[in-house]
Structure 1
Amino acid sequence: MFQSNGYGAMGGAKMRYQTVDVASQVEGASPHRLVGILFEELMKATEIMLAAMRAGNRAKMIDKQARAANILLALETSLDFRNGGEIALNLARVYRESRRLVQLGGRTNDPAQVETARGYLSEIVDAWEQIG
């Protein structure tokens, strides 16, 4: 018997598969790759959040909003302020502002806020990929 999780039986199976897929990527990954995985998951969460907002799917929007906010918090708290200097401080500001925009966008149902956050973040993601 399937449990209802708001995604239907197939959606639940897909979610479990994606969780296993992410877990397998994380296992044995370098610290640089781990941050890359967080960025990928963050961008995916905000993309799905925007689609859910536009489709009027509040439950999915809230789920992806929480995921994005949690990833942003994890990125911010993993910064090394002692060795990272000004770069770490600037990244913390961007992560904090992006988290605020994602939360505000969800609360006010304003996709523009989330799109602004995605714009800030895509620059960091692009730079991170150039390093890797």
Structure 2
Amino acid sequence: MPRPTFKGISQYRNIELESSVASASPHKLIEMLLDGALGKIQMARGCMERKEIGPKCAAINWSLSIIEGLYSSLNMAEGGDIALGLSKLYEYMMRRLVAANAGNEVAILDEVTQLLGEVRTGWVAIRR
């Protein structure tokens, strides 16, 4: 019996992710984006500790892209103070990620992880 290859596993994961995204509600999509950003920040943290510069930069850039997407999806016209607060928080987190990348500062990644984790917790709570 042939053993699964990494390529096969990767393709399966991509199909599974595409299926999850296609069937997700808008609320769930935001949750998935938050999870993705948190995962990439943790990946960057590990890379930073191992001094893997290229993968660290890629993971931070990916998390920046996700947070930028969350920022750009805010409805400032209807979101009121919550949207304004989130926009300022997302801007702050993006600046901090750039600083973490430039200075190889794990503590800054931990700070952003905590902030983004709180956003995720609040987001999940409003679904209930």
TM-score range, shorter chain: 0.7 to 0.9
- Map Cα deviations across residues 75-120 of structure 1 (whole Å, 9 max, x no partner): 0000000110110010011111111111110111111111111111
Q: 2:34 is matched by which residue type in structure 1?
A: F
| Aligned Cα root-mean-square deviation (Å) | 1.7
Partner of 2:84: 89
In the other structure, the counterpart of 2:125 is 130
Q: 1:110 aligns with which of 96, 105, 114?
A: 105
Which consecutive residues of structure 1, in runs of 5 or more, have no partner in the other structure?
A: 1-8
> 1:19, CA displacement in angstroms?
3.6
1:40 counterpart = 2:35: yes
Q: How does 1:21-40 map to 2 (within 5 A)?
A: 21-40=16-35
Q: Note closer, same or farther for the CA distance 1:103–1:29 as it changes in structure 2 (3 Å cut).
A: same
Q: What's the secondary structure of 1:79's corresponding residue? A: coil
Residue aligned with 2:74, SS = coil
Q: 1:15/1:58 Cα in 2 relative to 1: closer, same or farther (>3 Å)?
A: farther
Deviation at 1:129, TM superposition (A): 1.2
The equivalent of 1:5 in structure 2 is none
The one-letter amino acid of 1:83's match is E
- 1:45-65 per-residue CA deviation (whole Å, 9 max, x = no partner) reads 111110110011111111111
Unaligned runs of 5+ in 2: none
Give the equivalent residue in structure 2 for 1:4.
none
Which amino acid in 1 is paired with 2:121?
D
Q: Which amino acid aligns with 1:101?
A: R
Which structure is larger by alpha-carbon Rg, 1 or 2? 2
Secondary structure in structure 2 of the residue aligned to 1:67: helix
- TM-score norm. by structure 1 comes to 0.85
Amino acid at match of 1:122: G
Deviations along 1:24-69, whole A, 9 cap, x unmatched?
2110211101101101101101111101100111111111111100
